[in-house]
């Protein structure tokens, strides 16, 4: 048996068994490669790039003639070297494959493709690769329409699947985890079960919850992946760390709470935690009127009520604001509008930092 441990992208592209798996997915090749990838997660990136390249070459071969391919390869070759490439006549598809791929590798197109795939992010390879790795029979919902689709998962959790999005999941959650695979955008309202974490795999990120509601945006062509929390607590981490992070019920990784979001830059490979653009109250509507009515209310108390109502941490110095009071009734004002009005009334200002609100004030001793 071959040792694929140190295979490069080009090695995978030229391997007969690997190509059969990618193009034909025969049972023998499928079982071997799915198990091999599970045992060698460090090769996932090379495997993904090779898969994408093989599909691209296969589609191109069906759409253009051999002469057109020769002309294009010659043009690319001349851009790198004045020497001409001599082509052997096409004998069959496999011979062509080896000649064309070898020529492409020599002139550096594999490196070019690797760069393009990492920066343009146009392929659903991560989603497809996970489907293949999971192996078990999955339910797949592909929302090709213009309206949202409501999906009930085996555990009773509800998913609102947005247009141009796909979701795959097991028919039954039989393991200690509830795992789904997303390409696109969806809102999840997860049934609470502390003993069985709920995991959403979406491009390079994994979102882990015990029971909460949140939105994931992970379209293949987008340069960013977003996770936005509505209620509860959510853990977000890189898919590369999935083995370590998913084997425990505890929420580790980057923790998000209501009205917080994480934005993952797929090119820079970094995550940024921020507040959402328009925080929404996390308390019941009937509680909001009394919460947002202030009559000679100490500002420290007003900030505490506002913080509890929106689930947003408001950092301030109680000693500095001890003499400050506010009288106001907020009805349709947004979270930030309320902050603006309170700060204006006490001659203070605020900043958003690390998904928190930080209040700056000199106090109200002269009020």
CATH code of the domain in which 351 resides: 3.55.50.30
Question: Do 267 and 290 belong together in one domain?
Answer: no
Is 148 found in the same domain as 260? yes
Is residue 367, in this structure, part of any structural domain at all?
A: no
Asked whether the beta carbons of 13 and 55 are under 8 A apart, the reply is: no
Residue 303 in domain: yes
β-pairing, 254-256 with 234-238?
antiparallel
* Domain count for the chain: 3
Residue 152: pLDDT band with limits 50, 70, 90: very high
pLDDT-derived band of residue 107, with 50, 70 and 90 as boundaries?
very low
Residue 190: the pLDDT is 94
Q: List residues bridging with 315 in a β-sheet.
A: 358
The C-alpha atoms of residue 158 and residue 211 are separated, in whole angstroms, by 11
Name which of 129-138, 219-228, 261-270 the model is least confident about: 129-138
Q: Is residue 130 part of a domain?
A: no
Does residue 365 belong to any structural domain of this protein? no
Range of the domain at 333: 285-360
Q: Do residues 158 and 268 share a domain?
A: yes
What values do phi and psi take at 205, rounded to 5?
-115, 155
> pLDDT higher for 18 or 226?
226
Is the pLDDT at 10 greater than 80, yes or no?
no
Residues 154 and 95 in one domain: no
CATH of the domain at 165: 2.60.120.1440
Enter the pTM of the model.
Answer: 0.63
């Amino acid at each position: 048996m071959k040792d694929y441990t140190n295979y490069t992208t080009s090695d995978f592209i030229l391997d007969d068994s690997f190509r059969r798996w990618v193009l034909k997915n025969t049972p023998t090749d499928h079982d071997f490669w799915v198990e091999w990838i599970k045992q060698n997660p460090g090769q996932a990136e090379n495997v993904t790039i090779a898969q994408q390249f093989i599909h691209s070459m296969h589609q191109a071969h069906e759409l253009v003639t051999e002469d057109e391919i020769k002309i294009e390869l010659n043009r690319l070759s001349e851009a790198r070297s004045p020497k001409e490439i001599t082509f052997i006549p096409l004998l069959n598809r496999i011979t062509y494959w080896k000649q064309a791929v070898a020529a492409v590798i020599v002139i550096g197109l594999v490196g070019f493709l690797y760069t393009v795939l990492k920066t343009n992010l146009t392929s659903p390879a991560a989603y497809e690769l996970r489907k293949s790795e999971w192996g078990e029979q999955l339910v797949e919902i592909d929302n090709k329409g213009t309206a949202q689709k409501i999906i009930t998962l085996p555990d009773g959790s509800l998913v609102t699947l947005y247009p141009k999005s796909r979701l795959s999941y097991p028919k039954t959650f039989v393991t200690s985890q509830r795992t789904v695979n997303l390409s696109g955008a969806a809102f999840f309202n997860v049934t609470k079960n502390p003993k069985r974490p709920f995991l959403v795999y979406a491009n390079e990120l994994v979102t882990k919850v015990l029971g909460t509601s949140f939105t994931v945006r992970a379209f293949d062509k987008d340069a960013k992946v977003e996770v936005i929390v509505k209620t509860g607590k959510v853990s977000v981490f890189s898919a590369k760390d999935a083995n370590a992070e998913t084997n425990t019920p505890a929420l580790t990784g980057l923790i998000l709470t209501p009205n917080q979001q994480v934005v993952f830059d797929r090119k820079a490979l970094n995550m940024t935690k921020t507040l959402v653009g328009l925080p929404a109250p996390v308390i019941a509507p009937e509680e909001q009127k009394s919460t947002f009515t202030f009559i000679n209310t100490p500002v420290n108390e007003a900030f505490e009520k506002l913080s509890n109502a929106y689930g947003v941490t408001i950092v301030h110095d109680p000693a500095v604001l001890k003499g400050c009071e506010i009288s106001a009734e907020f009805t349709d004002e947004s979270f930030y509008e309320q902050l603006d009005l309170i700060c204006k009334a006490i001659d203070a200002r605020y900043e958003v930092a690390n998904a928190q609100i930080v209040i700056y004030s000199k106090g109200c001793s002269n009020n």
